[in-house]
Structure 1
């Protein structure tokens, strides 16, 4: 297998693992929402958000940085130095995990008091031990990637999610049957993350032992001996590259953590504690779960486009870079919008189908509608990393999160929970616009150019058709059991949008036959049958 094929295969493994992990993470919230009340749901969401936030801070960017440092040293036959870098990273991972675990456990009551949900202390403390393992696991994944072995990281991520979800649901269900309160059921569900971490660590240890044995058996070349690299130098190299990556990776989780931390405090003076609890419960367990679906494609896109754009930028091939950046932005918008539209328009049916009550459909729909800007933010962040502008992406994220905080305080008294959601959308919009402004100085690309009018018309038509189908589908509630009716209604909306969307893209020349060959194979296959709707250039004159 060539290096290029190996790299592509590795990228696909990591992308597939990330997608599976994301889907399982979203799926976990649906049954838990049925088991728990408002306090339990918020407790679980708060614990998960603060855990994921701290985990991102402790690990984001470091595995890829470690991968780069290890691969460079093995390429130069400096195996001894590569091992020293790896050991230093493991030491850092263990120390970081220990410190964060202790801090989270000790300060759990203070954090629970800050977010006005004292019941969340148990859930936070139950999940804290997972942070002891995951920084070390992240270092091991980075090392394996540096050795061009993507399977260990991918397999461990999938095993972790499967064990976490099964354990969380199993423990929560058992505690519920035994008569425990919401506080302890949420804590039991949170503890599933610890068991998932143990499973992931065991997988990584298995692969590490296997690799160590293979290394002993295949020592042919004599590794070059070099003076030991000081730990200070190793850590300086790691942090120099990793810190900007942490900020770009943390954005969505930081926004959700902000909502869980200050949401009830913002809403309580205007709407009362119980109503504030209900609103944040719906936002954190329902809306965030559904809104996590559209960006899944963006995650895969971000993973795959970075090497291509990085290579074009490194070669100084401006024309190819322009084409790839334009293509990446168009694909992200074209693939994200139909999913966003279908879920937003059918929010009432989706909410009624998946969750315990029909309350909060507007909250689900509004947050999901804003995820199109989350997608563009994620993709432009990846592009900035690809053109060696990580510091710019970091600054833009800091500005966006500051704006999120400010707009939340301004809008929540007027609009309630919808003001908090509007602040989230504005955060993503601001980061996207700042990213695009910076990219325009490097690459004179156009996203849609003069096609924005056609795209707006496509969105309007789809929203109208989807809304009509949703209204008609909901009439089935009078003829069928509610969940069956919601199933058919949401399915019909999705089918209508996904069938009409490619036809409109072709008919309004948002995608032309000439451009189609540049699109990935799945998109080409989906759009090709609709190209006959496009009038030829001669017919248009």
Structure 2
């Protein structure tokens, strides 16, 4: 009975973290819309140039180090071979060295990084964001410690609190600074500072939780330090790389889109504006992938327990269902947003600039959803290094792709390189899963899902054509067009998915709210 109970605790904890992650990612995506409306495309460009550096720090304190620390703590609680406090203290010391080194590297290399990006005025912003790495050892260690003991509440509360305070401060400071006539780079510095404030608030909450635990003298041994360092360095980094896929791609774009546009002859202000318009796609991609992975990755934590079970088919069923959900939701979101991109662009950002670029970029929703799900599966079956390796290969392809396509196609070239990189990562993930003998989805499933998406696209084409015919293109009418398109497209797509029986009743019962579709069908 013990393995069963542990499995249930694991799944419950993963569900709590999934809810928290979903809330934070939705907040992270949604606030960018009013922020862009406040600062404009150039202001948005300034912020988005520096954001990926902060995003990497967040990935370290969310996806990477806490996961490995929690694993070590959980094993220590079971085997009693090492004290959990010893693991926490050792991890903190090791991550303290890492955090200090990274801070110094980014802070004193800020001018070099800004020069690499092609905009020296970003130097002060990069210096500010470098301080986020000093918080990595504190946040990672405490989150990992509690997660290892099966308590996901401190992590969940701190994640939501961090994002909420960050978003509030960013919007307030941006509004005040813009009204006072501050330069957009000063506004950018204020928004970056807001992110540090959010992290400090999360750390304070974690300290309060941690202070309730009795402290004890901890003796560090060479063997324990070596063991923990090896796990943090190798496994923690691998998990972080896999989870930070979209952030890494954004970082590549920050490094060379603007500079390549300038080198290709685009005027400075126009290049900044083009990059800012391109970055409009980031919240859309983030929301699209959140929806898909929130449903599918709740199933992944159960893979380890299923893998050791006698019922091997149950293990394969869970993998198949996770991939199914990522494809169904990812394809639906990608095709839907492509079809209503123009009114959505006007609704959110007041004009339709860059619509075609954003439509191509939106294909990333499908590929990104599938990759993040498959990466989670590979981690669940012990292949985290392979997942990280594929992401790094994709990031390299993205970097080189920008150099090939941007000089000729400008930001459309950046969209091309993103899609090519993601497609390559997806192919590598599929190849690895097949090589391990894991059965994937049938050709019939893909045929049915393509038919479903095509029918939805056709209905949305008719829907948007009505607005175009009567020239209803103002921001108000575009809002009705976009939101109505979401509802119409969603209903049609769900109807097709149910009608073609892409998910059976057992699979529907396994996903959130799936039982309501079964109930509706039976009645």
Other structure's SS at 2:351 match: coil
Do the aligned partners of 2:86 and 2:218 also contact (CA within 8 Å) in 1? no
Aligned partner of 1:186 among 182, 185, 188: 188
CA–CA separation in structure 2 for the residues paired with 1:404 and 1:325: 28
Deviation track 1:150-181 (CA, whole Å, cap 9, x = no partner) reads: 00010011111111111111112121222211
Do the aligned partners of 1:122 and 1:184 also contact (CA within 8 Å) in 2? no
- With normalisation by structure 1, the TM-score equals 0.89
CA–CA separation in structure 1 for the residues paired with 2:251 and 2:218: 47
Counterpart in 1 of 2:475? 483
Counterpart in 1 of 2:38? 35
Aligned partner of 1:170 among 156, 169, 172: 172
Other structure's SS at 2:244 match: helix
CA–CA separation in structure 2 for the residues paired with 1:504 and 1:101: 51
Do the aligned partners of 1:502 and 1:527 also contact (CA within 8 Å) in 2? no
Counterpart in 2 of 1:239? 233
Aligned partner of 1:71 among 66, 69, 74: 74
Counterpart in 2 of 1:535? none
1:17 aligns with 2:8: no
C-alpha deviation, 1:474, in angstroms = 4.7
Do the aligned partners of 1:473 and 1:492 also contact (CA within 8 Å) in 2? no
CA–CA separation in structure 2 for the residues paired with 1:230 and 1:194: 32
Counterpart in 1 of 2:259? 265
Counterpart in 1 of 2:47? 44
CA–CA separation in structure 2 for the residues paired with 1:76 and 1:446: 36
Q: Show structure 2 runs of 5+ residues with no match.
A: none
Do the aligned partners of 1:28 and 1:165 also contact (CA within 8 Å) in 2? yes
C-alpha deviation, 1:7, in angstroms = 2.9
1:124 aligns with 2:116: no
| Matches for 1:345-360 after TM superposition, within 5 Å | 345-360=339-354
Counterpart in 2 of 1:249? 243
Aligned positions, number: 519
Q: Show structure 1 runs of 5+ residues with no match.
A: 217-222, 533-541
Cα pair distance change 1:132/1:517, threshold 3 Å? closer
CA–CA separation in structure 1 for the residues paired with 2:85 and 2:335: 49
Question: RMSD of the TM alignment (CA)?
Answer: 2.6
Deviation track 1:447-472 (CA, whole Å, cap 9, x = no partner) reads: 13323222222222211211221232
- With normalisation by structure 2, the TM-score equals 0.92
Deviation track 1:284-311 (CA, whole Å, cap 9, x = no partner) reads: 2x11111111111233245422222222
C-alpha deviation, 1:518, in angstroms = 5.4
CA–CA separation in structure 2 for the residues paired with 1:302 and 1:100: 33
CA–CA separation in structure 2 for the residues paired with 1:180 and 1:475: 43
Indicate the structure (1 or 2) with the bigger Cα radius of gyration. 1
Q: Which moved more, 1:325-334 or 1:92-101?
A: 92-101
Deviation track 1:266-324 (CA, whole Å, cap 9, x = no partner) reads: 2334451343322211112x111111111112332454222222222233643222222
Other structure's SS at 2:103 match: helix
1:282 aligns with 2:277: yes
C-alpha deviation, 1:199, in angstroms = 0.3
Counterpart in 1 of 2:144? 142
Aligned partner of 1:381 among 357, 360, 375: 375
1:336 aligns with 2:330: yes
Deviation track 1:415-438 (CA, whole Å, cap 9, x = no partner) reads: 221121111111111111111111
Other structure's SS at 2:299 match: helix
Do the aligned partners of 2:508 and 2:518 also contact (CA within 8 Å) in 1? no
Q: Which moved more, 1:38-47 or 1:482-491?
A: 38-47
